């Protein structure tokens, strides 16, 4: 599986550059590692050779915005990633997969676009829309295929919530996509801290879940040794049953149960 990125919202806006950069660097590293492995399988010697600037294929997936303006969410996301890739001197090809209804979720071309991506980013919106369209559909299978091949899968706000095994909506809890297990994501945490959100969630959430509170324009990205924070705010980890969080900020690491 490739790295997973979870983000607290306010995506694509000024101040979010550190997290977008971290996603792009993780994707570029994954591309380079896969290229090296492929060369080794062909019997080529890659020791001592510099890695070429391989294009990074980025796909914005605005499914959570299907009830609003997914085209605008996709275009905004694409523009943000293009700008940051240029600032990093990175060769990135950025496209939008408008998976917004049952027909587009089973579109073979969109599914192939997702399966071939190096970085897929799920934008914010309504979390209940995403599992219903992606779970078991051609697009959903493409998303999982990309993850299995080493692509970075990132989500912001609702997009991050549904990457977990469980999420919630105003109508109650729902099963997420399960890319991350053992926790639920609480986005926009800098706006809702000190409210009694945890008591409310504990009444409906499955037993044994921890909660990951993420400030806006801040997220965590997984790697082989844990999760690293990137962004202008903080990540707040509430272990199962705990009311006191472990807090980490930009460049620091968190130990999560996934």
Determine phi and psi for 111, rounding to 5 degrees.
-60, -40
Measured CA to CA in angstroms, residue 248 lies from 14, 163, 173, 219, 226 at distances of 21, 21, 27, 10, 13
pLDDT in tens, the chain (258 residues): 899 999 999 999 999 999 999 999 999 988 876 664 555 556 665 554 545 567 899 999 999 999 999 999 999 999 999 999 999 999 999 999 999 999 999 999 999 999 999 999 999 999 999 999 999 999 999 999 999 999 999 999 999 999 999 998 878 889 999 999 999 999 999 877 656 677 778 777 888 899 999 999 999 999 888 999 999 999 999 999 888 899 999 999 998 877
pTM above 0.85, yes or no: yes
User: Is the Cβ–Cβ distance between 46 and 40 less than 8 Å?
Assistant: yes
Q: Are 236 and 213 in contact (CB under 8 A)?
A: yes
What is the phi/psi pair of residue 5, to 5°? -120, 130
Axis crossing angle, helix 138-148 with helix 108-115, rounded to the nearest 10: 10
- The Cα–Cα gap between 192 and 234 comes to 13
User: What are the residue ranges spanned by the domains of the chain?
Assistant: 4-181
Q: Does domain 4-181 have CATH number 2.40.50?
A: no
């Amino acid at each position: 599986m490739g790295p997973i990125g979870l983000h607290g919202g306010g995506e694509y806006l000024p101040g979010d550059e550190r997290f977008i950069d971290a996603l792009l660097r993780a994707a570029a590293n994954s591309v380079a590692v896969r290229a090296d492995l492929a060369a080794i399988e062909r019997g080529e010697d890659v020791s001592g050779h510099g890695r070429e600037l391989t294009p990074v294929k980025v796909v914005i997936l605005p499914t959570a915005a299907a009830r609003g303006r997914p085209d605008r969410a996709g275009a905004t996301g694409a523009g943000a990633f293009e700008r940051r890739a240029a600032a990093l001197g990175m060769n990135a090809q950025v496209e939008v997969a408008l998976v917004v209804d049952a027909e587009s979720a089973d579109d073979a071309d969109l599914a192939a676009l997702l399966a071939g991506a190096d970085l897929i980013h799920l934008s914010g919106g309504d979390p209940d829309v995403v599992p219903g369209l992606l779970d078991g559909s051609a697009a959903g299978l493409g998303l999982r295929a990309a993850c299995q091949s080493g692509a970075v899968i990132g989500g912001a706000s609702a997009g991050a919530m549904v990457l977990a095994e469980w999420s919630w909506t105003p109508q109650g809890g729902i099963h997420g996509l399960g890319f991350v297990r053992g926790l639920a994501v609480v986005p926009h945490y800098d706006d809702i801290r000190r409210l009694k959100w945890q008591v409310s969630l504990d009444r409906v959430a499955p037993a044994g879940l921890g909660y990951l509170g993420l400030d806006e324009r801040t997220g965590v990205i997984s790697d082989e040794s844990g999760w690293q924070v990137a962004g202008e705010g903080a990540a707040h980890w509430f272990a199962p049953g705990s009311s006191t969080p472990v807090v980490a900020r930009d460049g620091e690491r968190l130990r999560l149960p996934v």
